[in-house]
Amino acid sequence: MTFDDGPESKQTLKVLSLLEKYEARATFFVVANRLKGHSALIDEILSRGHTIGNHSWDHTYKNFFSSFGKLDDWVKKSVEEFSGRGIPTVGFRPPAGVVTPNLIRSLGQYNLKLYLWNQRYFDTQFVIGSDRAKKSLERYTGGDIVLLHDRTKRLDQNLDAIETILREGKLRGYAFSNL
C-alpha cells in the first residue's frame, strides 16, 4: 500500500492511525518541497515502520517534457532535499506515473528505483465508497502496489474505504507491507 502527495499533518496522521489499527505497513511517496515543517511527521512515519519514497521536488509535470538537463536538475534537487535531511528513500515515483526516457536516465544516475502501481482508485478525483473498495479486493494478487493519497480534499470521505480495504484484505489473508 502506498500513499502519494504528502505529507499533510492532519490527513497523514489519520492514515497512520488506520494503518496501525490493522498492523499494516505502507510507503509514503513524499513531495520534497513539502518536507519543510514536517520533520516530526516524517519521523513518526518512519518510527511506525513505514518507508518514504521520493515523489519529485514539486509535483509538476512540465519537467518531464523538458531537456534532459532540466529534468535531471529537478530530480537532483529532490534527491538532495531528502539526503540533506537524512531521510532514507526506497525509490522514486513520478507524479501521475509519467515515465520518459530522460526520467529513466536521470533515475539511473542517482540509483533510484522506479515505483509505479497496478491498483488505483483515483481517490483524488472521486469518493471511493466502501462497496467499491470491498469489490476491488477481488482484483488483488500477490505483490500488488496500491496507490492512494494522504493529501487530498477527499481523504475524509475515503477513510472508510481505506479501512474497508485494510479490514477485508486482512480477512482474505492479504498482508499490507511497505516497499
Q: What pLDDT does 154 receive?
A: 83
Q: Classify residue 140 as exposed, middle or buried by CB count within 10 Å of its CB (0-12, 13-18, 19+).
A: middle
- Hey, what CATH topology would domain 2-171 get? TIM Barrel (3.20.20)
Confidence (pTM): 0.96
| Predicted pLDDT at 145 | 97
**Per-domain boundaries in the chain:** 2-171
pLDDT tens string 101-116: 999 999 999 999 999 9
Could you give the CA distance from residue 31 to residue 95 in angstroms, rounded to a whole number? 9
d(CA 8, CA 105): 31
Q: Which positions of the chain have pLDDT values less than 50?
A: none
Smallest CA-to-CA distance from 128 within 96, 144, 145, 152 is with: 152
> 2 with 149: CB under 8 angstroms?
no
- pLDDT tens track for 20-54: 999 999 999 999 999 999 999 999 999 999 999 99
State in Å, rounded, how far the first CA of the chain is from the last one: 8
Amino acid at 89: T
pLDDT at residue number 121: 93
Cell 480477512 appears where?
A: 171
